[in-house]
Amino acid sequence: MYNIKMGIGAALPGLLALIWVGAQGSQQLRDLLSSLFAWRTKFRWYALSVALPSVVFVLSACAVLMLFPGKHGGLSAVALINTLLALPGVVSEEIAWRAFALRRLQHRYSRLSSALIIGVYWAVWHIPMWLLTVRLLTAAQLVIICVNLICWSVIFAFLYERSGQSLPVTILLHVTYMVVSNQATSVVEFRTVTMIRIAAAISICLALFFARRLAVREQLPYQPC
């Protein structure tokens, strides 16, 4: 079942962000939390939040099943329950990475550069968890996983900006990513390494596409969509 220590660790970034901003004043705290309740945005951003990770990991899992026919695993109820138990940590991470850090970085750097900086920090933050949970993790595999997460940081930043800085959109994206990736891992079972490599390749392509669109909007004034 979901490790309580890992849950506390996932919740820590958001709690620290709230404490930091709260110490600066109530208005700054309200501004931060406004992103958490900005759920009124166009449906297409919610649809993309579900579709993007689903397509990436379903395609990756199908590719593995085609390349390596034979006995494989199945969908896991335990993985689904663990993901639901991790929801508070997901909300905390999105408060920290998007509502706090990303918005702060954009005061000094471009939207794309800010997304990449967050991606690097986000990946480094997860390394201890990967070392504990990923079987037979090699240095090369760790690099691939980190690159994959940096790519998704760009995708998260794009959806966050285009949805009018809606944290519910990125929370849904985060949860969907966890659910689909965990289920895909359960299905391919002992071919997880191959699936991660395929997923990372697709994620890089998506990140390049969204990075260009994020950069194009760089000179445009912010307008909620």
Tens digit of pLDDT per residue, the chain (225 long)? 445 556 666 777 888 888 888 888 888 888 888 999 999 999 999 999 999 999 999 999 999 999 988 777 788 788 788 888 888 889 999 999 999 999 999 999 999 999 999 999 999 988 888 887 777 788 898 999 999 999 999 999 999 999 999 999 999 999 999 999 999 988 987 788 899 999 999 999 999 999 998 877 655 444 444
Residue type, 22: G
Q: How far is CA 223 from CA 2, 79, 199, 210, 218, in A?
A: 39, 38, 32, 18, 12
Q: Where are the domains of the chain?
A: 4-219
Helix (H) or strand (E) holding 175: helix 167-188
**pTM of the shown model:** 0.89
C-alpha 212/C-alpha 224 separation (Å) is 19
Per-residue model confidence as pLDDT tens digits over 160-187: 999 999 999 999 999 999 999 999 988 9
Torsion of CA 152, 156, 157, 158, to 10 degrees: 100
